[in-house]
Structure formats: structure tokens, C-alpha cells
Chains A and B, each alone.
Chain A
Amino acid sequence: QKEVEQDPGPLSVPEGAIVSLNCTYSNSAFQYFMWYRQYSRKGPELLMYTYSSGNKEDGRFTAQVDKSSKYISLFIRDSQPSDSATYLCAMDNAGNMLTFGGGTRLMVKP
């Protein structure tokens, strides 16, 4: 079993929809939770970063962490075609080495 599981998709939604992307993990030592966005033929870039449980909002994006369930989510409101990308969750146990999920490919259709 992988330490971090993520549905690969693809997830196809119409423009303006609310998108929910999720990861589950097995290592209870993870404390820092990140979402990276990767456009085609580019390297990943950090989108959101949260510490421990709770919610964090940044514009149209909300990251949610539930450590008791070992489950994290990224919500995208009013999705745009420019949000079409692969979204990777990543986790850290404060050792500065990240464990990544496999990524979910999102397509937002105009």
C-alpha cells in the first residue's frame, strides 16, 4: 500500500463547477500538507500549504486537513479552464523530505 493515495482521474468538470480533490495517507507522523499544481510540460508549483488539521483559504482555493481520518482535500470554487492541470498532494513529517501522491488530472471544460 502506498503511503499517500490519490485518485488519478481524469476529472472532467464544466467551467464554474466546484471541484473536490482528495488524498488519503497512512503515516500519522505527517504534519505538513501541501498541494502542488503541475501544468503540462512544466514542473510542479506550490498552490497551498497547511500545518496540522484545519482549513486554509486562498482566493478560490480551500485546503482542508482531517488528521483523525488521515484525509486531505483541495476545493476549487468557480473553476476555470486555466485550472486544468494535474494536482499533486504532498506531505512532510518535518524532515524536509516530501511524500507525494500520484496526482489527479483535472480538466475544466469551457
Chain B
Amino acid sequence: DVKVTQSSRYLVKRTGEKVFLECVQDMDHENMFWYRQDPGLGLRLIYFSYDVKMKEKGDIPEGYSVSREKKERFSLILESASTNQTSMYLCASSPPLGGSYEQYFGPGTRLTVT
């Protein structure tokens, strides 16, 4: 059974804190993604990684950074959390270009910044 896991289901942080969200996949996928999901706005891509140590900005990278030191693990970092980063964060993985276009999602982390 394929699996994408995220380190926390719920997280509450204070404004200005540095926040780490972790994602691990067990499918040996090359591609990994971080999205945020907000009501009415759907899923918006923050960052994308197609290989270890490689990353590409998505539609809304401002205020975020990422790290991919191992193939199975993709971390999202909020350098200085702000209230407008309160959201549901979803991690996904997929096979490389030319393979299936299916993205497999984790259960999400609901982050609240106060």
C-alpha cells in the first residue's frame, strides 16, 4: 500500500517562529510537491522537487523554503511564520516525467499561526 506521511496532523505556532513540516514517501518517487489548500482557492503549489537537492518554485513560494536531502523526504520550512500562513499543507509525490501523472497525497497538516 503506497504511502505519503506527514509529520503532524495539527500544528499551532506563534508569529515569527520557524516552522518545519516534514513529508516522507515510500514509493521511491522522484517528484515531490508541497501545496497549501485554502477554502475557495483550491490547491496552490508552493515548491516542487524532481530530484534530491533539486527544487523549483511553484505559484506561491514567498515566505517558504524547502529541503530535500534524501529521495524519500521533502521538508517545507516557514522561515518566520505569519498569520496569513495559517492553512492546510499537503505533500504529494509522483513518478518522474513520462510516467503516471497521478500524484499521491499525504493526509495534510493543518497549521494555525497565532
Contacts and interface: CB of A to CB of B under 8 A. Distances in A.
Contacts of A8: 40
A96 B108 contact: no
Chain B interface bracket (under 10, 10 to 19, 20 to 34, 35 or more): 20 to 34
B61 interface: no
A100 B42 contact: yes
Interface of A: 4, 6, 8, 32, 34, 41-46, 49, 88, 92, 94-98, 100-103
**Minimum-distance CB pairs A-B, first 4:** A43-B105, A102-B42, A100-B43, A100-B42
Contact of B105 (A32, A44, A102, A103): A44
Contacts of A94: 97
B78 interface: no
27 contacts: A6-B42, A32-B101, A34-B102, A41-B108, A42-B108, A43-B105, A43-B107, A44-B43, A44-B90, A44-B105, A46-B102, A49-B101, A49-B102, A88-B43, A92-B101, A94-B97, A96-B50, A96-B101, A97-B45, A98-B43, A98-B45, A98-B101, A100-B42, A101-B42, A102-B41, A102-B42, A103-B42
Q: Is the interface of A mostly helix, strand, loop or mixed?
A: loop
A103 B48 CA distance: 22
